[in-house]
Structure 1
Amino acid sequence: MMAKRLLFGADCRRKYVSVIRNAICSEIHGSSWMKACAANVQGRWPKVENAMERLPTSVSAKIPFKRRMCSTFQSTIDQAEIKKFQSLAQKWWDENGEFQALHTMNDLRVPFIRDTLINYIGSRQSGSPLSGVRLLDVGCGGGLLSEPLARLGAVVTGLDPVEDNIRTAEVHKSPDPFLNKQLQYKACSLEDITEECSECFDAIVASEVLEHVADRETFINCCYHVLKPSGHLFITTINKTNLSYLIGIIAAEWIFSIVPRGTHEWEKFVIPEELERQLESNGFYVESINGMYYNICSGLWSWTESTSINYALHAVKSKDTQHPESENPVSEETIQSYANSAS
């Protein structure tokens, strides 16, 4: 009986590998093979409302620029997401485990962050190109990205709301005196530090985090408040397309078990145009958006022109420093006129 199950599982994998390969190569959304795949998975894999419908390729006109203090918004923390990652807290540094894809993603995201910052601020010290840069790693998990960025010379603060994740990160860095000097961790949410860290950081990294937050608008707004003017925001996340549902959830979670089942929710994915609109409405301007591709067979990442599955985004905070609680700040002339009338 066990042998039959194994053979059946192998046969299913072979069947869907060809479907997935065709999907990646052609990127034909809404075509007959997609409909056939959707029919095959009904009843066996989680359904997502409208996941197999063709998604819009553009969004409405950008809304007027508007910012408010983070305290006026909802929390960015989703308790269901906390529970998911709580059970994985001890597995962050297993390169062959559930976070294998994040380990190999460093081959792309570390040079992307390093080279972009060097291009804007210049290399400050040979061997430590990010020396003096204050960097915030939001949703740092066990520190997979925080550590290599700190080794490049950046002064890194890693945030994560899961206390066990922070414990794992602390234990891993503790034997290294250099990391202990360059890197600190805090078990809290982004909005928890907005008041004490207003305009503190030169750069923020939110890698594979945005698809797990409870309120994306709040998250972006808080990033604005803790960044210095002209500070840099780096995001890697997953596009909300038919292909991302097929690859990111069905293939990655249900067929190949690259990540645990239930890690992602398709409804929380965001198309680049929508993310760009939200960023620009909260005081950022987007400099670049680059597609990323994960090879399931080799376990390696590469850059691609297509953003239909994963993508990396770089945005810069506007130099406009008007008070975020006011959409129409009072001018000095108005203040003086009030003063004169009162005297």
Structure 2
Amino acid sequence: MLCRVTCLRAPVSSLSQFYCTSIAGEGVTSRSHLSQDQREGESTTYNTSDGSKSSDDSNSGRHEQSTYSKEEVAKFRSMADSWWDVKGDCRPLHSLNRLRVSLVREGLMQSGAVMTGHIAGPQPLSGLRILDVGCGGGILCEPLARLGATVVGLDAAEENVSVARLHADCDPKVRHKLEYVCGTIEEHAQEAEGMYDAVVASEVLEHVSHPDLFIHTCAHTIKPGGSIFLTTLNKTAVAWVGAVAIAEYTLHLLPPGTHDWNKFIPRQELLFLLEKSGFATRTVHGMLYNPLRNQWCWQSNTAINYAVHAIKET
């Protein structure tokens, strides 16, 4: 994720003065009241991508599988006060919306999910339900809601969810279209089988544990014929040079340690994981970031950043 991680400069409780009035705690799933410590300690059983059962029981002392990474979530919890600073640490993510919003809109149109009467209108995604996994402060959720979609933003950091709710509450045009939930994809999937027309996970895969489980669990929440949209980093030498050596250690666009090259996802491996979970890949695009202009553009080269749209067939 091209976003600088900073130390939290103000408690989340004071952010309401920065955005607007405090919000009502509506629309939270039954698990969202849990504290982060409680979430890390509770036991969850789910299906892995090979069909076997796995238990996430932190108190058992056994090896378990989960997409949740405490260290990765901590990175983004610390930036809760900077999500909506368009000139700050998340500047590249705001700029990335130009590509990823169009990726979702055009992908859903081409898949036939968008109703004919809405295609030419200002809200072509009306009637569609979208899950944004790893939503952070809601940077992508809000523009999708403005296009008419009902959007659920899911994030494992309570601080990020609080900021997203506060910001959405300031805009009466979108707040009724948005719901933010604190939790993991495993927790949410237990209550959301086949609920969504599309799932978006943008700049998230390179920060989760067990990407195969992540893809499989996302698939569980998508209707047959629904879409998944992913943007991530390729596991190539060029990606290490560009996203780690240059971005973090030379240009200081990101603090050292933001990315772990070992968690980058080779393009062919991701396409295999999608096929394994019942998806047919429709589109693969390379993405190029110009830090001097703060601009993203599509390109054929997928060696560093790339985007994928796939359709759930089963």
- Classify the TM-score, shorter chain: 0.7 to 0.9
Instruction: Name the structure 2 match of 1:122.
Output: 114
Instruction: Name the structure 1 match of 2:248.
Output: 253
Instruction: Name the structure 2 match of 1:274.
Output: 269
SS of residue in 2 equivalent to 1:177: coil
List alignment gaps of at least 5 residues for structure 2: 1-48, 57-63
Shift of residue 71, structure 1, vs aligned partner: 5.9
Tell me which of 298, 306, 315 is aligned to 2:301. Answer: 306
Alignment of 1:19-30 (within 5 A): none
Structure 1 CA distance for aligned equivalents of residues 166 and 232 of structure 2: 27
Tell me which of 195, 208, 211 is aligned to 2:206. Answer: 211
Q: Which structure carries more strand by proportion?
A: 2
Tell me which of 125, 146, 149 is aligned to 2:144. Answer: 149
Q: Which shows bigger deviation, 278-287 or 135-144?
A: 278-287
Shift of residue 260, structure 1, vs aligned partner: 2.6
Structure 2 CA distance for aligned equivalents of residues 291 and 252 of structure 1: 18
Tell me which of 186, 193, 198 is aligned to 2:188. Answer: 193
SS of residue in 2 equivalent to 1:178: coil
The amino acid of 1:140's aligned partner reads C
Higher Rg: 1
Structure 2 CA distance for aligned equivalents of residues 261 and 299 of structure 1: 20
Structure 1 CA distance for aligned equivalents of residues 311 and 222 of structure 2: 9
Structure 1 CA distance for aligned equivalents of residues 231 and 206 of structure 2: 10
RMSD: 1.6
Summarize deviations over 1:175-228 as a string: whole Å, max 9, x none. Answer: 112322100100111110112110000000000000000111110111111000
Shift of residue 122, structure 1, vs aligned partner: 3.2
The amino acid of 2:289's aligned partner reads Y
Distance change (3 Å), C-alpha of 1:191 and 1:70: farther
SS of residue in 1 equivalent to 2:223: strand
SS of residue in 1 equivalent to 2:174: helix
Tell me which of 85, 98, 103 is aligned to 1:94. Answer: 85
List alignment gaps of at least 5 residues for structure 1: 1-64, 321-343
Structure 2 CA distance for aligned equivalents of residues 71 and 219 of structure 1: 15
Structure 1 CA distance for aligned equivalents of residues 172 and 293 of structure 2: 34
Q: Which structure carries more helix by proportion?
A: 1
Structure 1 CA distance for aligned equivalents of residues 204 and 175 of structure 2: 24
Instruction: Name the structure 2 match of 1:202.
Output: 197
Summarize deviations over 1:243-285 as a string: whole Å, max 9, x none. Answer: 1111101111122222232111000001110111111111111
Shift of residue 109, structure 1, vs aligned partner: 0.7
Instruction: Name the structure 2 match of 1:341.
Output: none
Instruction: Name the structure 2 match of 1:226.
Output: 221
TM-score, normalised with respect to structure 1:
0.72
Aligned length: 255
CA contact (8 A) 1:89 1:142 kept: yes
Shift of residue 98, structure 1, vs aligned partner: 1.5
Structure 1 CA distance for aligned equivalents of residues 102 and 52 of structure 2: 33
